[in-house]
Amino acid sequence: MLQVLGAALLYVLKPGTMHRLVVLLTQRELAEDPRDWLAWHLLSATQRLGDVKTFGAVYLCVHGLLKIILAGSLLQGALWAYPTMIGYLLVFIGYQLYRYSISHAVGWLLLTVFDAGVAWLTWREYRTSQQAAQLPRVR
């Protein structure tokens, strides 16, 4: 859900507006520590945002909507959704690692780590669901 919201904000807000917002949010931290790693990377990312704004919005929207649809299927007990979710995440992880290898943008790495965690948790839950489905039912 946050990815879809982020995609909407990315699409609606102008790059200059987003940069000014990040400057406002990070100026206090940079005043305390001028070499703050996170603040500098956020500022750097928003300075280059104009080039990739539409792509980023579409990517985040598709990525987020697929997660929402598959998570809804998982909540309804659809066992097919587990391997589908894992496979889809692995495809996105592969693409994100490719993009990171080209751009070295920290955002790709953070999204990859998050997706890997979700894939691992999905795999664990899938194994648990398979084992529960094999247990005899008591009436």
pLDDT value at 10 more than 80: no
Q: What percent of the chain has pLDDT over 70?
A: 94
Neighbours of 103 (CB within 10 A): 12
What is the structure's pLDDT at 77?
Answer: 83
What is the structure's pLDDT at 46?
Answer: 74
pLDDT value at 51 more than 80: no
Q: What is the pLDDT of residues 52-106, one digit of tens each?
A: 777 878 888 888 899 889 989 988 988 899 999 999 999 999 999 999 999 888 8
Give the C-alpha separation, 26 to 69, whole Å. Answer: 35
Place of tokens 């990815």: 3
Give the C-alpha separation, 64 to 40, whole Å. Answer: 26
Q: What is the pLDDT of residues 121-131, one digit of tens each?
A: 999 999 988 88
What is the structure's pLDDT at 39?
Answer: 82
What is the structure's pLDDT at 116?
Answer: 97
pTM for this structure? 0.68
Q: Which residues of 23-49 are buried (b: 16+ CB within 10 A; e: fewer)?
A: eeebeeeeeeeeeeeebeebbebbeeb
Q: Which of 6, 10, 26 is nearest to 18 (CA)?
A: 10
